[in-house]
Amino acid sequence: MATLTLVPIQSRADHVLGGADLAAGETLYANNCASCHGADLEGQPDWRSPGPDGILPAPPHDENGHTWHHDSAMLFDYTKFGGQAALEARGVTGFTSGMPGFGDSLSDEEIRDVLAYIRSTWPEQVQDVQAARSHVPDEN
């Protein structure tokens, strides 16, 4: 039996996605994410209403969606391991995610590039809110 170990991304000063390659992230997004989440990060129609299978359509990744409501460690795990595994690792039950994991096709660096690209499209205020959720307080 395989064991899944999730390692949170932590930061002390800069945002955890700082220094990522945004151009690479944009290309990776177009090649791996846009087919479900939209070329303009708009998500699928009726993304808040479950389909006949009980699974929600792919949400938008622009500021109109809920991606920015999550810390970067959660977004990283969701992308690398898939939604179901990421949620279950956090004790979330009773929710079925349709998000596949990309850990077999994208490196950790590429996943960070994609997430940084998505984040870069949000208005500054939205980035600030998400950043507050992604920081570990300084111990000074």
Query: Tell me: the pLDDT tens digits for 47-97?
Result: 999 999 999 999 999 999 999 999 999 999 999 999 999 999 999 998 899
pLDDT of residue 10 exceeding 50, the answer is no
Distance CA 75, CA 48 (A): 18
pLDDT of residue 57: 96
pLDDT of residue 11: 33
- Averaged pLDDT score across all residues of the chain: 87
Distance CA 116, CA 38 (A): 17
pLDDT of residue 13 exceeding 60, the answer is no
Q: Name the pTM for this structure.
A: 0.83
